[in-house]
Amino acid sequence: MIVSLFVNRVKSAAPIIAEQVCAILHKMNVQTVDFESYTDKVDFYCTIGGDGTILQLIHRAKYLDAPILGINLGGLGFLAEISLETLEKSLTAVLQGSYIVNRRIMLQAKGPDGQKFYAANDVVVHRGTNRHLIDIAVNVGGRYINTFAGDGLIIATPTGSTAYSLAAGGPILTPDMSAFALTPIAAHTISNRPIVLSSAEEITLEYLNNYEPLEVTFDGIETITLPPHELLTVNLAPSTFGLVSLENSDFFSTLRSKLGWTGTSRLHKEGC
């Protein structure tokens, strides 16, 4: 078995944790390689950092033929599932086959020049350097929906629904859904609310104002500009990425833990 390591070296603890991971894997006769220098087929990609590190890997690799195993070095992480406290136990469980791979959908966007970009979390259209509110007309599947006035719009995958979209008041989508969340950023009109859209539909955004170009970001990693009266089309990407989860992992338990939800359930107490 071969595991490719992708380490976020901006985090001071990451290289030390990487050495620990290598020691655990080598003890189980697993070969570890550096993502930056190894180009052959691997069994797993192992990221050491957090959710942002997983996104960096996806954008760096463009296409991943093996699932991603994320080790979280702290912070509000929904993708990097393995904590430092359970590092050896979790790695051992994965290597013994006690895991599942969740396939996650992605976004594909096409700018005015026809260039394509991809996002695992979200495509964000923001007013950028404009001091004014901006107007963005939204068409879905060729049907006009609304013109949103505000600071911009977020189109999020289920994976990205717990990121910027959630902070902007968007809905949480379960990871297995084939849908996108369209969330206004600081909407000027209170009636402009988030919408959940089928991933089968193409979303077209038109920048209506004569102001400075808008800023369009893909997972906060890649950026382009959208000039006035130009179009940005967003739809389901042809590729997905695989995320490793432990067999006892539960999305709603993760939500309760990460978001600080409280309360009890008779059914949950009784193990139903």
The catalytic residue positions are 51
**Distance from C-alpha of 132 to C-alpha of 115, rounded to nearest angstrom:** 28
**C-alpha separations of 197 from 105, 125, 175, 219, 228 in Å:** 14, 17, 15, 19, 25
- Secondary structure string (H, E, C) spanning 3-19: EEEEECCCCCCHHHHHH
**Distance from C-alpha of 99 to C-alpha of 170, rounded to nearest angstrom:** 30
Residue 88 phi, psi dihedral angles, 5° rounding? -70, -40
CA angle 165, 170, 176 (to 5 degrees): 85
**Distance from C-alpha of 231 to C-alpha of 120, rounded to nearest angstrom:** 21
Type of residue found at 43: D
DSSP 85: G
**Count of all residues that appear for the chain in the document:** 272
**Distance from C-alpha of 267 to C-alpha of 133, rounded to nearest angstrom:** 48
DSSP one-letter string for 221-232 = TEEEEE-TT-EE
